[in-house]
Structure 1
Amino acid sequence: MSSVVNVFVVSPDTRSERRFELHTSIEQLKNKLELFTGIPVQNQRILLLDNEQDPNPVQVLDDDSRPLGYYSIRDWQVLKVIDTNPSTSFTGQLTDTSQVEKFELSEEAYAQRQDTVLAYKQQNKIGRFAEKDQLPQKPVPEVNIPIGARCEVETAEESFHKRGKVKFVGPTKFGKGDGVWVGIEYDEPIGKNDGSVNGERYFTCKPNFGVFVRPERVRVGDFPVEETHFSDEEM
C-alpha cells in the first residue's frame, strides 16, 4: 500500500494538486496548507470531499493529533480548506472584485496615452490609420504618350484642330479616379483650366490654356501651331 496520497486542495483563493504522506498529522498538514492557501492554522477547517461539486463532506479532519491516513483518504479526493475567520486572514479578497475601485479613462485621455492599442495602430498605420496609398488601387493602364510631345486633340468637326503640348499623363482624383487622363496645354486659350482641377494641380499653364482629355482622343505627332476654335467637349 502506498504511503503517500495525491489530492486536490481548494480554498477561497487557491486551487492546486498536492502530494502528502499518510503519516502526516493533521496539525502538520495545517502548517503545510497555510503556506499555499494563506489561511492561518487556527482558522482552518478541513473537509474531505469526493469531488469539488460534492455538497456533503466525506469526513471533517478535525483531530489535529490524527494522521492523514486515519481518515481513509484516497487519491484525487479533495481537501477543501475553509477559513473560519476571513476578516483576519483576508481570504477571498483576491478574487472578490466588488470592492475594487474601477479605473476609467475618458475618450480624450485614452487618445493621448502612448501605451494603448490605439496608439500602436496610429504609430504603425494599421486599420483606419493606414495611409491612402497603402490601400489597394485599381491597375493603371499603360499609355504611350510622352510628356512634352506635340499633339492634336480629336474634335467633332473634321477641319477643326486643337493643338498643343502634352504636360501630364496619369490617374487623377476627378472623374471618379478611374483610368488615365492626358493633361494638355493648348496653343491658344481654348482650354478649361490652368492645369488644376478641384484644387488639385497636375501641371502648370496660363488660365484657359489647360485641358484634360482621355488618351484615345489624343494623337501625338509633328503638329505645328495653328489657329483653333473653342469647343466644350473637354474637362
Structure 2
Amino acid sequence: MSGTLNVFVVSADTHSERRIDPHITVEQLKNKLELITGVPVANQAISIQTSVDDPTFVAALSDDSKPLGFYGLRDWHVLKVDDTNPSTSFTGQLTDVTQVDKFELTDSAYAERTDTVLAYKQRNKVGRFAPKDESAAKPAPEVKIDLGSRCEVESTEAGLSKRGTVHFVGPTTFGNGEGIWVGVEYDEPMGKNDGSVKGERYFSCRPNYGAFVRPEKVKVGDYPVEEIDLDEEM
C-alpha cells in the first residue's frame, strides 16, 4: 500500500478531514491525533467506521505497534477517537451546554437596558426609529377642473368621443388612496358605476353613466351634448 489516504477524524469536540500515511503505526497516529482532538494518547480508543454517512464498525486499532494498513484503512474511512477518561481531559465539555446557565431577559427588562442593539438604534435613530422624511412625501398635484364643467374624456378607441359633466374632483379610498380622480357623468351609458365605488359614494348619476378617470385623461371645454340623428341610422 502506497501514498496517503483521505480520512475523517471525529472526536467529541472535533470533526476534520485529514491525510494519513497508512504505513505509520497506531502509536504514531495517536501522537498526531492528540494535537488534533486534544485527547491524551493514553486515553485514546480509536475505531474505524465505514464513512461519515455510514457509521458501520470496521475495526478497532487495538495494537499500538501495528501499521494502519494492517486494519484495512481506506480512503474516506472515519477514525473515531473516544476518550476513555474524559474527567481528566475535559473532553466533550467544550460542546456540552447543558451545564451553562441561560441568561434570559423579559421584553420590558431588555427595553430598559442601555447596552443593547435596541438602545443603540434608538440613540442613533436607525431603522424603525429613523425620523420620517416628510420632504420625501409627494404633494398631491394641483388639479384645476371645476365641478359642473363640460368635458371630453380620452378614449382608447379611435373616433370614440366620451363627453360628460364633471361632478367630483379629489382623492378617493380606491386606487390605493393615491392621487386625484375626476368623477364624470357621461352623456351616454358608457360608464361603470352610478358615482359610487365599493360602497363609497362620491356623486350621484344614473347606473352605467358614471366613471372615475385621472385628470390627465380629461379635457375641459365647451363640449355640447352630441345629438343622435335617428333618421340617418334607418
Q: TM-score, normalised on structure 2?
A: 0.54
In the TM superposition, residue 92 of structure 1 has moved relative to its aligned partner by 1.1
2:104 corresponding residue in structure 1: 104
Shift of 1:10: 0.3
Pair 1:49-2:46 in alignment: no
**Displacement after TM superposition at 1:70 (Å):** 1.2
Structure 1 counterpart of 2:89: 89
C-alpha RMSD of matched pairs (Å): 2.8
Letter aligned with residue 3 of structure 1: G
The Cα shift of 1:51 comes to 1.3
The percentage of aligned residue pairs carrying the same residue is 66
Amino acid at match of 2:16: S
| Alpha-carbon shift at residue 53 of structure 1 (Å) | 4.3
Match of 1:67 in 2: 67
Shift of 1:64: 0.2
Q: CA deviation at 1:121?
A: 2.2
Please give the per-residue CA displacement for 1:189-222, whole angstroms capped at 9, x wherever unaligned. Answer: xxxxxxxxxxxxxxxxxxxxxxxxxxxxxxxxxx
Query: CA separation in 1, counterparts of 2:137 and 2:4?
Result: 70
In the other structure, the counterpart of 1:160 is: none
Task: In structure 1, list runs of 5 or more residues that go unmatched.
Answer: 144-178, 180-235
Instruction: Indicate the residue corresponding to 2:79 in structure 1.
Output: 79
Shift of 1:16: 0.3
Preserved contact between residue 40 and residue 89 of structure 1 (Cα < 8 Å): yes
What is the number of equivalent residue pairs in this alignment? 146
Q: Which residue is equivalent to 1:7?
A: 7
Return the offset for 1:27: 0.6
Q: TM-score, normalised by structure 1?
A: 0.54
- Code of the aligned partner of 1:70: F
SS at match of 2:51: coil
Cα distance in 2, alignment partners of residues 52 and 125 from structure 1:
49
* Separation of aligned partners in 2, 1:42 and 1:121: 54
Q: Deviations over 1:68-94 (max 9, x none)?
A: 111121111100001111111111111
User: Which residue does the alignment assign to 1:218?
Assistant: none
- Matched letter for residue 82 of structure 1: D
Amino acid at match of 2:59: Q
CA distance in 1, matches of 2:134, 2:65: 75
Give the counterpart letter for 2:61 in structure 1: L
One-letter identity of the residue aligned with 2:85:
N
